[in-house]
């Protein structure tokens, strides 16, 4: 039931939290069931969020999904966080230790968003700047974060994405990806074996959230001509140390 002491503005945020917690687009009836609020109240709030560009209707017109404007707001909030400098310093020290470019990422819609990135000192770089978005199914961070999503949410996300082939090693079928997700959950890390860009390898490890589940990832990227995937995997202990430091920055 609604808290009578909650202001109308805060109820909008409460409903956004309900949608985030469910992890999928909801119909009016589903939003009523998930929130426990009266139907007229939920209908009014959904309409207000849709009018404000924070929610949008799916093509069937029945379900409400998070809109790009809401993702941009959350991304800007993360980027301007007082802890951003701490996380940037952790990433900078990681690059100094491993000698190759490293990035800090999270899921945003059906893509991987670069929250921060430090390039190596080498002249050969790929220059994937903060704010860059890459496909979720063929990046180490994307596969890592997908592997740890609840199965219904993962299936809904993959069902709406084109699993495009970018290179000869891209995993383009649900069966191949599910097998990869099982390996990731077992081993605790993910790799990109030149699956997104020819000549680029990557290793990613999870950054645990306050509930212990991965909400973001830290990864090492390198040209295969300079560092093989096997050599990149040798840096896993240092990546895991950085992941724990990044997790502490959220506390």
**Under 8 Å between Cβ of 227 and 100:** yes
* pLDDT over 50 (residue 2): no
Mean pLDDT within 246-251 = 78
- One DSSP character per residue, the chain reads ---TTS-HHHHHHHHHHHHHHHTS-EEHHHHHHHH---HHHHHHHHHHHHHTTSEEE-TTSSEEEE-HHHHHHHHHHHHT-TTHHHHHHHHHHHHHHHSSEEEEEEEETTEEEEEEEE--SSS------TT-EEESTTSHHHHHHHHTS-HHHHHHHHHTS-----STT---SHHHHHHHHHHHHHHS-EEEESSSSTTEEEEEEEEE-TTSSEEEEEEEEEETTTS-HHHHHTTHHHHHHHHHHHHHTT-
Q: Place 98 in a pLDDT band, splitting at 50, 70 and 90.
A: very high
The better pLDDT of the pair 221, 211 is held by 221
The better pLDDT of the pair 177, 79 is held by 177
pLDDT of 85: 72
pTM score: 0.71
pLDDT of 83: 55
For 8-66, CATH number?
1.10.10.10
Q: What percent of the chain has pLDDT over 70?
A: 87
Domain assignments of the chain as residue spans, ordered by start: 8-66, 72-248
Mean pLDDT within 90-108 = 92
Mean pLDDT within 190-205 = 96
Q: Which of 131-145, 180-194, 210-224 has the highest mean pLDDT?
A: 180-194
Q: What is the C-alpha to C-alpha distance for residues 22 and 119, in angstroms, rounded to an integer?
A: 36
Dihedral sign (CA 124, 130, 132, 134): positive
Provide the CATH topology of domain 72-248: Beta-Lactamase (3.30.450)
* Cβ neighbours of residue 250 closer than 8 Å, sequence gap 6 or more: 83, 209, 210
72 is written with which tokens? 């941009």
């Amino acid at each position: 039931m609604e808290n009578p002491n909650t202001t109308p503005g805060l109820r909008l945020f409460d409903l956004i939290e309900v949608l985030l917690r469910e992890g999928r687009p909801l119909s009016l009836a589903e939003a009523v069931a998930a929130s426990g609020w009266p139907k007229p109240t939920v209908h009014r709030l959904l309409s207000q969020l849709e009018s404000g560009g924070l929610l949008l209707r799916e093509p069937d017109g029945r379900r409400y999904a998070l809109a790009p404007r809401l993702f941009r707001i959350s991304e800007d909030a993360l980027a301007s966080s007082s802890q951003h400098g701490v996380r940037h310093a952790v990433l900078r020290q990681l690059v100094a230790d491993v000698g190759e470019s490293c990035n800090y990422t999270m899921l945003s819609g059906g893509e991987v968003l670069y929250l921060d990135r430090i390039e190596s000192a080498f002249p050969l770089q790929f220059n994937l700047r903060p704010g860059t978005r890459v496909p979720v199914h063929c990046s180490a961070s994307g596969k890592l974060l997908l592997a740890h999503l609840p199965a219904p949410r993962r299936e809904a996300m993959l069902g709406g994405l084109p699993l495009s082939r970018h290179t000869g090693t891209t995993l383009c079928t649900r069966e191949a990806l599910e097998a990869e997700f099982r390996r990731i959950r077992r081993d605790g890390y993910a790799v990109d074996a030149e699956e997104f860009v020819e000549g680029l390898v990557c290793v990613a490890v999870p950054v645990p959230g306050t509930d212990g589940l991965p909400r973001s990832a830290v990864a090492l990227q390198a040209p295969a001509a300079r560092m093989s995937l096997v050599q990149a995997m040798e840096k896993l202990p240092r990546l895991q140390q950085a992941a724990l430091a990044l997790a502490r920055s959220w506390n």
